[in-house]
Amino acid sequence: MFVFCKKIFFLIFISLMILGGCNSDSKHNNSDGNITKNKTIEVYVDRATLPTIQQMTQIINENSNNKKLISWSRYPINDETLLESINGSFFKNRPELIKSLDSMILTNEIKKVIINGNTLWAVDVVNIIKSIEALGKKTEIELNFYDDGSAEYVRLYDFSRLPESEQEYKISLSKDNIQSSINGTQPFDNSIENIYGFSQLYPTTYHMLRADIFETNLPLTSLKRVISNNIKQMKWDYFTTFNSQQKNKFYNFTGFNPEKIKEQYKASPHENFIFIGTNSGTATAEQQIDILTEAKKPDSPIITNSIQGLDLFFKGHPSATYNQQIIDAHNMIEIYNKIPFEALIMTDALPDAVGGMGSSVFFSLPNTVENKFIFYKSDTDIENNALIQVMIELNIVNRNDVKLISDLQ
């Protein structure tokens, strides 16, 4: 009891420091009147890119007055004016965010916390819930999960290959597994049945990259029964309704403005093609140059979807050291490699077609963009590669358009 009281006094002290603007480790908007007024706090956490892009557009679209606590690993927000415009505070790490959230709950009449997180990294959400529940304030909790990318679908594919009885057994344990992790009696295991099992405990929405996974021939009936009423297809068309102010806010969030790329697309009447590059761990510069050479042939027996006559753009891997060599070999236009494809999708700055080295990028693309071809390392077992197989199941790519580098030899 003494230890608990010490924690309470410590959190109240931290809260007073934060509200007074004395926390130097985070970017805080000190206008906290809306915390008490609305009695709802929104939390946004992510270690990746796709959930962050989705959360950004949600914040802009909803334009709520609720206090927002944000920790995005790949998109730190240092613009105080931007934070003030959304009633937000940014935290460099999740533990600092949790400290601030706890102290706000203790010192304000907070009725509800809406947590937005990464499905694959559901452990981050568990840690936030655990801290809230430990305060004993009976705060209402609502959850929104956003897919990390293709990883969830590789796991769903692997899960679908288990016998139905084993699937059902694992699912039957998931509610207690999650509750035990929240109670602190066992660590959280991010198995597929656990990360998609939160709706058994809290109001939960899963924003899925490909919600149609449950409409394929993959045997996922048992899991579908658990979450079917809690699924939403991710939205990519926010920009069709955003006004100029909302669009500019997104550009400020991401540091990306698509106008230059769109102008490059329009520079010629030809259709546009982006080649997705990789690093030396998968293919050499010469091998990628050879793939493009083959793809330009109008009658290649290997790459039947020719890119002859298309304007060529190149998006290299951020860690590759030879991107310029590939660009120069085929006189391509470079798209800065650190611009996430998700930003191109959200801002409707996509080409007519893509192709290149195997990447989760292909998983995110809408069906309005043609997938010309995808190449993998020579030793890839296509028939037993979960990512390739689930992409085929979802009609992201045709089996005949999946190639190995060795096919060129």
* For the chain, domain boundaries: 2-239, 256-408
pTM of the model: 0.88
- Taking residue 365's Cβ as centre, other Cβ atoms within 10 Å add up to 19
Binding residue positions for Zn(2+)? 268, 270, 311
Q: How many Å apart are CA 238 and CA 155, to the nearest integer?
A: 29
Contact at 8 Å (CB) between 34 and 108? Answer: no
Fold identical between 2-239 and 256-408?
A: yes
pLDDT of residue 16: 43
Rg (CA), the chain: 23
The length of the chain is 409
Q: Residue 3 belongs to what H/E stretch?
A: helix 2-19
The pLDDT score that the predictor gives to residue 340 is 87
- Mark the binding-site residues, compressed into ranges: 268, 270, 277, 311, 315, 317, 341-342, 359-360
72 C-beta neighbours (distance < 10 Å), count: 21
pLDDT of residue 360: 81
Which residues, at least 6 apart from 33, have a Cβ–Cβ distance to it below 8 Å?
Answer: none
Report yes or no: 148 and 51 within 8 Å, Cβ to Cβ: yes
For 131-289, list the strands marked E by DSSP: 140-146, 204-208, 231-233, 272-276
Please give the Cα distance from 163 to 143 (Å, whole number): 30
Binding-site sequence positions for CMP: 277, 315, 317, 341-342, 359-360
- Would you state the pLDDT for residue 36? 54
Per-10-residue mean pLDDT, the chain, length 409:
48 45 42 64 96 97 97 96 97 97 94 98 98 96 96 96 98 98 97 98 97 96 94 94 96 93 93 95 96 97 96 93 97 89 92 93 87 94 94 92 93
CATH code at 256-408: 3.40.50.11110
What's the CA gap between 328 and 118, in Å, rounded? 38
To the nearest 10 degrees (0 to 180), the angle between helices 50-62 and 244-254 is: 150
Scanning the structure block, which residue is given the tokens 């330009």?
Answer: 296
Which CATH entry fits the domain spanning 2-239: 3.40.50.11120, 3.40.50.970, 3.40.50.1000, 3.40.710.10?
Answer: 3.40.50.11120
pLDDT in the model for residue 35: 59
